[in-house]
Structure 1
Amino acid sequence: MKIAIALALAGAFLTADVGAASEGWDGKKLYRYTNEHGIQVLDDVVPPRYVAGGYEVLTTSGRVLEVVEPELSGKELAEKQRREARMAADLQLLKRYNSVADIESARKRKLAIVQQDVAILRSNKASLHRQIENEESAAARTQRNGGTVSPELLERIENLRKEVKVVSERLSLREKEAVAINSEFDRAANRYQEIAGK
């Protein structure tokens, strides 16, 4: 296989050389560029100050060998990169999903995992609150009976409050994640409809 590819490439190069030779090309190149006065210039080199404006590479007989496009300005370059990124994202979207129904199915699967976590975290939070209430009730009974609340009990209550705070933060993050997932899949579904023309 590699030999066949190598032979095909060699044949292409030989054909190119024969074509150039039959045209009488001596291998010399000329460059056509536009100077600061808007005049096209034919020269054997492109002065560095004109390279950014683009140029053409020609044979001495005038056949164009290569066209070097002008460099883009900052704004044009940013726009080109934005367009290319959009095209890449669109291609990825079309590869990943076959229909809007596929997108909705993926949304449900992803949300189900997050919603399961949210339910577990809410249950944990409720359980921690009950434990705090029980410990605080025990501390209140001790005080009503004229006793001193033990440092261990106070520490348990404080640790439970810290746990509630950690669980609350995780719950908030997961709820925000659910909102972000919905937004992401809304955008995907809308864009899919735009590019698929449905």
Structure 2
Amino acid sequence: MKIAPSTISLLLAAALAAGAPATVCVAGETEFGDDVLYRYTDENGVQVLDDAVPPRYVAGGYEILGRSGRVLKVVPPQLTGDELKEQKRRRAQEKADRKLLKRYNSIADIESARSRKLATVEQDMAIMRSNIVTLGNQIEQEEAKAARTQRNGGDVVPELLQRIEDLRQEVEVVRERLQRREAEAERLDKEFDRAAARFAEIAD
């Protein structure tokens, strides 16, 4: 039973006088009982007052009205896939913004944190570079021993060759760790750039 919005007061008054329930709830809407009406917009853009919301209109949202005509609840339109993604992105950004404002009081705080973080990473990288140099020197020494043995007509013992190979592998391991730390330093620097820029946008 569709009802024009302009006649709502008369119908509600009549329902009250007769003592009859005005409607049956939409499936799942039980919190207000049976004495409610539903207002939704049809495919022509016309608002309709009815005792139920046809399934094809539920996604468009609707209102639940009491017998007095007071709006009891507003059910918003269902979001599309893109709208859900945007809502999720917006909520994630709001959460990140709150965290940013809680962590830092100023851009100067952000720059100070950047310096501390990068100083730790730079210290680690300096140690790794030093280790690579030390290992390189050890390799040169062991290779020099092998070369002298060969010049003197001797055979290089397998243990020496294995030691040289082990040192080379260790150098590769340290170099890979150094590359990861260099990438981390670059990532941290960019993250602090973004944090400072975002803080400047939302701090005021």
Post-superposition CA distance 1:97-156 (Å, at most 9, x none): 001111111111111111111011111111110010000000000000000000000000
Q: 2:175 matched to which residue of 1?
A: 168
Alignment of 1:1-150 (within 5 A): 28-150=35-157
CA separation in 1, counterparts of 2:93 and 2:186?
23
Gaps of 5+ in 2: 1-15, 22-32
Letter in 2 for 1:151: P
CA separation in 2, counterparts of 1:35 and 1:192?
45
CA separation in 1, counterparts of 2:196 and 2:50?
54
Letter in 1 for 2:72: L
Letter in 2 for 1:79: E
How far residue 70 of structure 1 moved from its aligned partner, in angstroms, is 0.5
Letter in 1 for 2:130: S
How far residue 47 of structure 1 moved from its aligned partner, in angstroms, is 2.2
How far residue 72 of structure 1 moved from its aligned partner, in angstroms, is 1.5
TM-score, normalisation: structure 1: 0.83
Letter in 2 for 1:153: L
Higher helix share: 1
Letter in 2 for 1:90: D
Alignment of 1:187-198 (within 5 A): 187-197=194-204
CA separation in 2, counterparts of 1:44 and 1:156?
87
Q: 1:181 matched to which residue of 2?
A: 188
Query: How many residue pairs are counted as aligned between the two chains?
Result: 174
Gaps of 5+ in 1: 1-23
TM-score, normalisation: structure 2: 0.81
SS in 1 for 2:115: helix
Cα RMSD, aligned residues only: 1.6
SS in 1 for 2:129: helix
CA separation in 1, counterparts of 2:82 and 2:184?
34
SS in 1 for 2:191: helix
CA separation in 2, counterparts of 1:30 and 1:164?
77
SS in 2 for 1:67: strand
How far residue 76 of structure 1 moved from its aligned partner, in angstroms, is 2.0
How far residue 180 of structure 1 moved from its aligned partner, in angstroms, is 0.6
SS in 2 for 1:190: helix
CA separation in 2, counterparts of 1:92 and 1:47?
43
- Identical aligned residues as a percent: 66
